[in-house]
Structure 1
Amino acid sequence: MPELIHSGKSIEEATKVAIMIHGRGATSASILSLSQYLNLDEFALLAPQAQGGSWYPYSFMAPDANNEPAFSNSVEIINKVVQNLLDKGFQSDQIYFIGFSQGACLSLEYTSQNAKKYGGVMAFTGGLIGEKLNPTKYKGDFLGTPVFIGSSHKDMHVPLSRIEASAELIKNLGAEVKTLIFPDTQHTIRQEEIEWINRNMLK
């Protein structure tokens, strides 16, 4: 198994698990601090740590080969966490994904490559990964999984056009997608995003 920090309820007690995926240059501990703001009291929280603090070396829209093998390895790390939960008897709809920036991109990418009914996917500033979007990479059916993407209208790392194209593709895989786009230019997580998620996805 990858290096994981576990917080919240024990796996044995929990009926829901959130896989929390940090951004570039951050840590599993930093993404876990979001649990102070999100309604996650009933969850087991699992936060994998990227080697060297980065899931892949270049922009999420760099030529695909530039981010290999790190990108494929990172997808496999998330897959191992998910498979371990399924082996322990969790259903996919008891599994939630929460990510920021690189972690948001990885959350959207993993779940779209393996679309099924998840508890929810919460992506704070992210989109699907690749120089160009390749719909043939993605398979399965989200079966109405709620997917949230929040961002600035002009984020320095994640263009709005990629968020919109990602949301469309994810909708076509059967997800209920909500995007919240803000008029600022901050690369951050906003109070309004937290409140929307608490009210609609973690109530």
Structure 2
Amino acid sequence: MKRAGPTQNATAGIVLLHGRGGSATDILSLMSHAALPEVAAIAPEAPGNSWWPTSFLAPSAQMEPFVTAALAQVEDAIATLTAEGIPAGSIWLAGFSQGACLAAEAYARHGKALAGLMAFSGALVGTADAEGPPSVALYGHAPKRFDYTGHRKGRVWLSVHERDPHIPLARVQETATTLTALGAAVETKLYPGAGHGVMRDDIAALQRLLAS
């Protein structure tokens, strides 16, 4: 794991998760853009720089054991921050692309006590395959189940382009609906046109939410 910011007396903590082909160092650079030196940031790194080998839309059997292993890394990162004295209610999960999907899944499964989630160009992986045929809205993939339990009192920022080549808008909308139903306060930012990246409004959301 790579670190940025203080390891004691931090005002908040954040677990940052890189995208496919990225690295912990890459995703930590968001903190310098956000100019939040008082926030403790920690970034796990995926084996081979990829949390799983296929699209997050793939059938559940193709996603394991990769998702379980990735979630364990997120849990370890959270535990590191709490051991440094940061309460769970001041710890955020965030990521870009594949890392945003992992952050969203970690928040939905285990984020009951956390401050919230920032998913830049990402959405829920899902808990299992659902009935139904593949659809154009899911880029030719079949639907997933979103069987999460417990209340999420945190704040959530979801962002995606209208025509993201990797993250279907339909899955982002399902993610917003699912997390809202769990109790989270969800903001969804839809960028016009095609694209896949961390945008200026994402950095502004990072600054605003961590400062709160």
Instruction: Give the structure-1-normalised TM-score.
Output: 0.90
1:9 partnered with 2:9: no
Residue 150 of structure 1 aligns to a residue in which SS? strand
Q: Deviations over 1:84-116 (max 9, x none)?
A: 433444321111112000110000100100132
User: What's 2:56 paired with?
Assistant: 60
Moved over 6 A (4+): none
Offset, 1:157: 0.4
Secondary structure at the counterpart of residue 25 of structure 1 = coil
Number of equivalent positions: 197
Given that 2:121 and 2:196 are in contact with CA atoms closer than 8 Å, whether structure 1 keeps it comes out as: yes
Task: Give the match for residue 135 of structure 1.
Answer: 146
Please say if 1:51 is aligned against 2:47. yes
Q: CA RMSD in A?
A: 1.6
Q: Secondary structure at the match of 2:34?
A: coil
Q: Is the 8 A contact 1:92 1:116 kept in 2?
A: no
* Whole-angstrom CA distance in 2 between matches of 1:127 and 1:196: 17
Aligned-residue sequence identity (percent) comes to 34
Query: How much does 1:171 deviate?
Result: 0.5
The structural deviation recorded for 1:199 is: 3.5
Name the CA distance, whole Å, in 1 between partners of 2:195 and 2:19.
15
Matches within 5 A, 1:164-183: 164-183=173-192
Which whole-Å CA distance do the structure 2 matches of 1:38 and 1:56 have between them?
A: 28
CA contact (8 A) 1:19 1:96 kept: yes
* Unmatched segments (≥5 aa) in structure 2: 130-142
Q: 1: CA distance between counterparts of 2:105 and 2:72?
A: 11
The question of whether the paired residues in 2 share the 8 Å contact of 1:114 and 1:140 is answered with no
Amino acid at match of 2:15: I
Does the C-alpha gap of structure 1 residues 178 and 201 become closer, same or farther in structure 2, counting only changes over 3 Å?
Answer: farther
Distance 1:86 1:201, change over 3 A: closer
Cα gap change, 1:157/1:80 in structure 2, threshold over 3 Å: closer, same or farther? same
Partner of 1:199: 208
1:78 corresponds to 2:70: no
Name the TM-score, length of structure 2 as normaliser.
0.87
Q: CA deviation at 1:42?
A: 1.3
Q: Where does structure 1 lack aligned partners over 5 or more consecutive residues?
A: none
